[in-house]
Structure 1
Amino acid sequence: MSRSVDIAALANLLQEAAVKEILPRFRNLEPGDVRMKTEAIDLVTEADEAAERLIKSRIDAIAPGAVFIGEESVAADPVLIEKLADADLAIVVDPIDGTFNFAAGMPLFGVMASVVAKGETVAGIIYDPLGNDWVIAEKGSGAWMCRPNGSQERLSVSGAVPLANMVGGASTGFYGEDDRRIVMGNLAKVRIATSYRCAAHEYRIFAAGHLHFLMYQKLMPWDHLAGTLIAEEAGAFAARFDGSRYLPAHLSGGLLLATDRESWDALRREVFTV
């Protein structure tokens, strides 16, 4: 239980939304079911909106009095996001993370939720509808892979490796052209840098020890609160580019996660400096 929120019930609600509203539409979308938001790579589908409506309709029973902040709700009412910093309790939801993949029929998307209490992320959940399992963390209690049969496995980030051997995820699309050119050149210093266009799965595999770093520039809370807490509970070091702690109220400043502080420093110095 995190600040009067039933985390198991919240996890089950994400699963219910996926079963009822997301999976039936996967690879079954009509042309009118997919719409562009801000640009061609920023999409919303009927599944996103229907899943968020279902979650929102049930949230008061799980987190009484909580402010509900969903990606699609904020798209409709941008002022809503301003309530996050001062809310006693808030539930932040991304009904489909990886919408571009989902709309393209790629099996790489997830459902995310986080619990924020007085400006601190206290719980995070990332549900994989196709794998039918959850990665869950509550602050101070570790990060766990939870399977539908009830089994649980504690997650831990990878051990540190030299910069030249690092494999990680880097979302470079929100840099300006000149800065992007510099960063993408610097990424030649690591072994592999990729992007799954799905933070949900990037955080899951990072927390499970299969990546050495993650970098994001655009900081929307539904994309990063759950994953950052999960990564930290799995042993990662996470901070904004200036070294400050990432908090729910932050919408800018970049975000870099690494297996430890020394690796973070090396990545910031050698790769993600423009």
Structure 2
Amino acid sequence: MIEELEDFLENGQADVEEAIRKAAAAEIVPRFRQLAAHEIVEKNGPHDLVTVADRLAEEHLTASLTDLLPGSVVVGEEAVHADASVYEQLAGDAPVWIVDPVDGTRQFVHGDPGFCTLVALAQGGDLLASWTYAPALDEMAVAIRGRGARLNGRVLHSGAPEPGQVLEVATSHPDFTTPDQKRALLGLRTEGVQPRPCGSAGLEYLAIARGELDAIAFSWENAWDHAAGLLLVAEAGGAHRTVAGEQFRLAGGNALPFTAARDEATVERIVGLLQGGHS
């Protein structure tokens, strides 16, 4: 299977990109700013929404991606919501597609173009490739492990913040944080750091990869929100770490919050602030 995966990563990237574009064109774009009230449902409160576009796009991608790579499985947000045991496939041996059909559903529902489709390919907990597609912005970012990251064909390089500049950090919404995590995130409220609420997680990661955002600090670990972005940031030159100073694990069990940032020095600074707030 290793040789098949290598061949797929070498020759199948364009097919995956086409599959993502087709799913978005068929199920997401026609419903943008056209949703009826009954097509929107709250899952866990007003900040956690799902729409008919999420469900149908995930079904579309599940069929097309597994056709492209026989023997692969899919861990998608909506499938896991329906059956939590699906998440366990992240720890299996089969290649796994990690899918968030509409990342930033709240923005999508409100007619804001700041949403995207996230797809990552992993095996044995290792990220191999990722695709971040923002159809309303006409942006497609692709990262392949060891081969760099590109946005609409242009090489992405996260760079490093200028010495002494105020760091802009996108952070979790308070609804998704425990008391301990809230205390940790309070560590970012210090001189030289400007925290702000996050939007679409996938687009925040893209902003880091293109050097427009310095870091994120998130307190939830759903793989579909983070897998694509973590590889994108890493291949653009950035890094990530949990509050315990460890690498983020796709299958879960991470110490939270965790951070991803433009460079290693910024990761170390953010982790230190999170640890200080946690104590």
**Structure 1: which amino acid aligns with 2:270?**
L
Contact kept, 8 Å, 2:66 with 2:73, in 1: the verdict is no
Match of 1:55, SS?
helix
What CA distance in whole angstroms lies between the structure 2 residues aligned with 1:56 and 1:203?
23
Match of 1:156, SS?
coil
What CA distance in whole angstroms lies between the structure 2 residues aligned with 1:60 and 1:179?
37
Report the Cα offset of residue 262 of structure 1. 2.3
Report the Cα offset of residue 162 of structure 1. 4.7
What CA distance in whole angstroms lies between the structure 2 residues aligned with 1:127 and 1:28?
20
Q: Closer, same or farther in 2 for the Cα pair 1:38/1:20, shift >3 Å?
A: same
Report the Cα offset of residue 2 of structure 1. 4.7
Tell me the equivalent position of 1:101. 107
What CA distance in whole angstroms lies between the structure 1 residues aligned with 2:13 and 2:37?
36
Match of 1:187, SS?
coil
Report the Cα offset of residue 14 of structure 1. 1.2
User: After superposition, where does 1:16-95 map in structure 2 within 5 Å?
Assistant: 16-95=22-101
What CA distance in whole angstroms lies between the structure 1 residues aligned with 2:182 and 2:40?
29
Contact kept, 8 Å, 1:158 with 1:212, in 2: the verdict is no
Tell me the equivalent position of 2:140. 134
Pick one of 110, 113, 123 that aligns with 1:117.
123
Tell me the equivalent position of 1:217. 219
Report the Cα offset of residue 188 of structure 1. 3.8
What CA distance in whole angstroms lies between the structure 2 residues aligned with 1:21 and 1:43?
17
Report the Cα offset of residue 244 of structure 1. 1.1
Pick one of 242, 245, 253 that aligns with 2:247.
245
What CA distance in whole angstroms lies between the structure 2 residues aligned with 1:179 and 1:92?
25
**Structure 1: which amino acid aligns with 2:92?**
D
Cα deviation digits, residues 13-68 of structure 1 (max 9, x gap): 11111111101111111110000112221110001001111111212221111011
**Structure 1: which amino acid aligns with 2:74?**
F
Cα deviation digits, residues 70-106 of structure 1 (max 9, x gap): 1101111110101111132111110000011111111
What CA distance in whole angstroms lies between the structure 2 residues aligned with 1:163 and 1:178?
29
Tell me the equivalent position of 1:192. 194
Report the Cα offset of residue 261 of structure 1. 2.3
Q: Closer, same or farther in 2 for the Cα pair 1:73/1:127, shift >3 Å?
A: same
Pick one of 233, 242, 259 that aligns with 1:256.
259
The percent identity for this pair of structures is 28
Contact kept, 8 Å, 2:242 with 2:271, in 1: the verdict is no
CA RMSD of aligned residues (A): 2.0
**Structure 2: which amino acid aligns with 1:220?**
N
Tell me the equivalent position of 1:180. 182
The number of residue pairs the alignment matches comes to: 269
Contact kept, 8 Å, 1:170 with 1:193, in 2: the verdict is yes
Tell me the equivalent position of 2:14. 8
Match of 2:188, SS?
helix
**Structure 2: which amino acid aligns with 1:167?**
E
Extract unaligned runs of 5+ from structure 1: 147-151
Tell me the equivalent position of 1:202. 204
What CA distance in whole angstroms lies between the structure 1 residues aligned with 2:149 and 2:5?
14
TM-score under structure 2 normalisation?
Answer: 0.89
**Structure 1: which amino acid aligns with 2:154?**
E
